[in-house]
Amino acid sequence: MISLSIENLTKRFGEVVALDGISLGVEPGEIFFLLGPSGCGKTTLLRCIAGFYTPESGRILLGAEDVTRLPPHLRQTGMMFQSYALWPHMTVAKNVAFGLEERRVGRAEISDRVRQALESVRMGGYGERRIHQLSGGQQQRIALARALVIRPRCLLLDEPLSNLDAKLRLEMRMEIRRICKQFGLTAIYVTHDQKEALSIADRMAILDGGQIRQLGTPADVYRYPSSRFVADFMGETNFVEGTVRSVHGGTVRVETALRTFEATRSATWAPQTDEPCVLSIRPESWTLGAESSAPNAVCGRIGERIYLGEMAQYQFAAAAQTLKIFELNPRFVETSEQRDLFASVVAEDVVALPR
């Protein structure tokens, strides 16, 4: 296991600044995600780590070694591409062995390591097959075996599940995490899929405009976003405009057109009284009921609804705006549109952000 350190990294393409002074640290054995919209700089950062791009300034360290100017083949990193980049004219075993042959590893050791790599991704016995004889999920496993067989210090994955169907993506999420943890790999994983990141990552960085907007565990980033951008990018949420009326430690009272909410402030923001702000409230955080005594209760009526069995999604028409509410094990899906209900939410699930 090895750590990775990025220090004040800047990369430009002509006049475009793809990475703008990025710094972060990845612990040994950590599965670290780079997440963000298209063009945010996540793939550029991954390719700088791999050695395919050379930054204008800053440093990349694997452990204590500065690899910023080192060519890719000397960094001992394994790269798994979005397209898998498998050679159709070679057998599965030859594809997996390619990196070892380039490193002039002995024939007997190559055979042994290829067998071990294929078994680790549950593809033992497929060595003599051709690539066109494999399903998409099997090809993905072979690409992963090829990255693992060189025993990399750091595993780099560039949207490896984007070409799979929904069912295979779910299966391979846990498979990739299992393999990384089994081999004690430090892994850097690029994706734009929030669910993928939330289900696999130990920690993640949200990028936008070549800068890191938030860094933390999946639960922290999802539950306590530091900005409106992060809250919106990480999943569905309700934004409620308001004004700060008082601040007591980490708790903020915010006046809105719906009601005055007790909220939790963003850890990176020091709000001032009478400052405009916005509240982020996830749809699943609301609780529906017939009583108004619950905290932060808002009166309204259910309008449009989507019933999904284990969950229902509602458009909840309150006085000043329509809220999106998700109800698990739904009880109100058959409720008449003419009946008033109260939607309530605890202060810990109401995040006050700078407007």
For residue 197, the model assigns a pLDDT of 93
SS (H, E, C) 196-262: HHHHHCCEEEEEECCEEEEEECHHHHHHCCCCHHHHHHCCCCEEEEEEEEEEECCEEEEEECCCEEE
pLDDT of 292 reads 80
pLDDT at 323: 96
242 burial via Cβ count (<10 Å: 0-12, 13-18, 19+): buried
pLDDT of residue 222: 96
How much is the average pLDDT of 274-294? 92
Q: Can you tell me the distance from the alpha carbon of 241 to that of 323, in angstroms, rounded to the nearest whole number?
A: 13
Domain boundaries, the chain: 4-228, 236-354
Examine the pLDDT at 117 and tell me if it is beyond 90. Answer: no
Q: Render pLDDT for 222-252 as a digit per residue (tens, 0 to 9).
A: 999 999 999 999 999 999 999 999 999 889 9
Percent of the chain's residues with pLDDT above 70: 99
Is the pLDDT at 336 greater than 70, yes or no? no
Give the orientation angle of helix 92-102 with respect to helix 136-149, to 10 degrees.
20
Say whether pLDDT at 264 is over 90: yes
pLDDT at 320: 80
In whole angstroms, what is the distance from residue 10 CA to residue 59 CA?
Answer: 9
pLDDT tens, position by position, 27-50: 999 999 999 998 899 999 999 999
- Structure confidence at residue 119 (pLDDT): 87
* Angstrom distance (rounded) from CA 57 to CA 41: 15
Residue 7 clears pLDDT 90, i.e. is over it: yes
Q: Distances from the Cα of 247 to the Cαs of 34, 167, 243, 275, in angstroms?
A: 33, 46, 11, 11
**Residue 247: its pLDDT value, please?**
94
Mean pLDDT for 190-199 is 91
Q: Quick one: fold of 4-228?
A: Rossmann fold (3.40.50)
- Domain 236-354 belongs in CATH node 2.40.50.100: yes
Query: Which ranges constitute the DSSP H helices of 35-106?
Result: 42-50, 92-102
pLDDT given at position 164 = 75
pLDDT at 136: 81
Residue 80 has pLDDT above 90, yes or no: no
CB 230 within 8 A of CB 214: yes
95/1 Cα distance (integer angstroms): 25
Six-digit token string for 22: 């990025």
Q: Distance (Å, rounded) from C-alpha 89 to C-alpha 113?
A: 21
Provide the mean pLDDT of the chain. Answer: 90
pTM for the full model?
0.87
pLDDT bin (cut points 50, 70, 90) of residue 160 is: confident
Q: Considering Cα of 284, then 290, then 296, then 300, what sign does the dihedral take?
A: positive
Q: How confident is the model at residue 163 (pLDDT cuts 50, 70, 90)?
A: confident
CB within 8 Å of 135: residues ≥ 6 apart:
none
Q: Is 228 exposed, middle or buried (0-12, 13-18, 19+ CB in 10 A)?
A: middle
Judge whether residue 253 has pLDDT over 90.
yes
Query: For residues 205 and 93, what is the distance between their CA atoms, to the nearest angstrom?
Result: 35
In the chain, the percentage of residues whose pLDDT exceeds 90 is: 60
- pLDDT of 337 reads 64
